[in-house]
Structure formats: C-alpha cells, structure tokens
C-alpha cells in the first residue's frame, strides 16, 4: 500500500506534540491544531514545487539527510530551546523554497487561520524540520538521493492536494505553488462556482432588461396610435371647415388641403 506522506507527518503531530507547539509559538491550542493541519500540506506543496525545479530534488535530499534525528529529539528541543528551532527551521525553509514562496506561505496561512504572521512564521519554522525528518524516516536506511525524492513527491501529489483545505488552496493559487501539483482543475472549481453564481445574477438582469424593452415598444406603439388618431381628428376638422368629406379624392390628409383643380361644391 502506498504511503500517504501527509498522514505520516500528522501521525507524529499528536495532540500532546501540538500542545507543545502551541505553547512554543504562544497561541491557543485549538488554533494551533487548525494551523498545523493547514500548514503541513502547504509546506509539502512548496517542497513539491522545489522538487520540480532544476537541482531542487537534490536540495531536498540534502536537507532531509540533515534531519534524520529531528523526530527523535524534537519533543525535547521544543520544550527548551525553541528560539533556536525557529531560526534553524526558518533558515532551512528559506533555502529550500526561496524568500518569495516562504513569504507566500506565511501570508496565506496567517490569513486562512487568523494567526498573526509572526506566530505563523514560527510555526512554519518548527514544522519544516518535522516534514523533512518524516521524509528521511520514510526513506529508512536507503541513501537519500535526488531521484528518490523526486519519485516520492511525484507519488504524493494527489495526497497533498486532497489534504490542502480549499480556502487555503485559493489563497495559494495566485503564487504558482500549486502548478507543480497539476491541480489547476482542483482550484478552478471555486472559480467556476463563482462564475456560475455571477451568471445566475446576470441572467435575471438581462431578462428584466429584455422585458423592459418590450414594455417600451408596446408603450411607443400605443403612443403612435393615439398620435395618429389625434392627427386624423385634426384632418377631419380641417375637412369639415373646407366643406368636403375627409374621404373626398381631392382631400390630401398630409396637408389637409384640396387637390389643385378641384373646388368646393
């Protein structure tokens, strides 16, 4: 059975471990739990993007090799020198995904979870070594090389995409990080729904506009009829003043005059 990398990482992040992380970053435990569940797949999205870049898989392999003892010692370190953990994890994350993507992750997760960016940055600094340590554990005794890392992330794209909350995915969609997942169709669904909702609004407006046009045409027709009737009444009065019938061949309705060569009887 294929390993789900997201599940493996979350197995390590037990309620007790999340409680320790919450204390370290000084946030509410429930908020920390929600933030962790969002940040783990988001980090994997960013690492997957790195794996698709030239030389990126090797960078990930080297970083994972340096985190082989992370999971074993993490509980002890997070209870003591967490400042050092924040700094080391943040530097590692920066080296792997670059400043732009690191900032994009921080802003998106902060917006999605409601945490401030300082706490979010610290959280990512703690979680990045855990994710890389999990990758090292997944490889076991095998040597970590670029091909293994590339194959691992290629096999995990669906699991990562499925674990990413849709709201967070929408926030990340403009960063380009999701492109490496081939997840355009996943992130297009909310946009399509918005388009459908927009169409449902526009359609009644257009229908109302068409109905208004019909009403205007009908009113214009009635006004034309009334104007014609009034004009005919005027012509009839002129014909009577002239002493002829309006249907007399010599009467010209457009002018209310008598044809040349005819005289009143």
The whole-angstrom separation of Cα 160 and Cα 217 is: 59
Is residue 42 within 8 A of residue 97, CB to CB? The reply is no
Give pTM, 2 decimals.
0.68
**Which stretches within the chain are classed as H helix?**
5-12, 15-25, 29-51, 56-65, 70-78, 82-113, 117-139, 146-163, 166-172, 184-242
Can you tell me the distance from the alpha carbon of 173 to that of 183, in angstroms, rounded to the nearest whole number?
Answer: 9
Residue with tokens 């005027």: 234
Structure tokens at 259: 């044809």
Q: What is the pLDDT of residue 144?
A: 79
Task: Please list the rounded mean pLDDT of every run of 10 residues in the chain (265 residues).
Answer: 86 93 92 95 97 96 89 76 80 96 96 95 95 87 82 95 93 90 51 35 42 56 56 51 51 47 44
* pLDDT at 77 (0 to 100): 75
The SS3 of residue 4 is coil
């Amino acid at each position: 059975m294929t390993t789900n990398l997201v599940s493996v990482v979350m197995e390590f992040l037990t309620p007790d471990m999340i409680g320790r992380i919450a204390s370290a970053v000084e946030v509410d435990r429930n908020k920390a739990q929600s933030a962790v569940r969002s940040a783990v797949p988001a980090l994997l999205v960013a690492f997957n993007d790195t794996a698709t870049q030239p030389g990126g898989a090797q960078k990930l392999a080297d970083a994972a090799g340096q985190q082989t003892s992370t999971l074993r010692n993490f509980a002890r370190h997070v209870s003591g020198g967490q400042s050092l953990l924040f700094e080391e994890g943040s530097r590692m994350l920066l080296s792997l995904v670059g400043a732009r993507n690191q900032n994009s992750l921080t802003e998106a997760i902060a917006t999605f979870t409601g945490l401030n960016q300082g706490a979010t940055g610290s959280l990512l600094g703690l979680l990045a070594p855990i994710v890389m340590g999990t990758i090292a554990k997944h490889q076991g005794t095998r040597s970590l090389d670029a091909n293994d890392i590339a194959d691992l992330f290629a096999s995990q794209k669906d699991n990562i995409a499925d674990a990413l909350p849709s709201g967070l995915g929408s926030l990340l969609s403009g960063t380009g990080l999701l492109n490496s997942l081939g997840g355009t169709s996943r992130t297009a669904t909310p946009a399509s729904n918005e388009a459908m909702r927009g169409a449902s609004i526009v359609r009644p407006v257009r229908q109302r506009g068409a109905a208004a046009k019909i009403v205007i045409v009908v009113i214009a027709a009635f006004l034309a009829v009334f104007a014609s009737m009034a004009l005919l009444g005027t012509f009839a009065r002129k014909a009577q003043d002239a002493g002829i019938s309006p249907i007399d061949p010599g009467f010209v309705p457009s002018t209310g005059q008598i044809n040349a060569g005819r005289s009143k009887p």
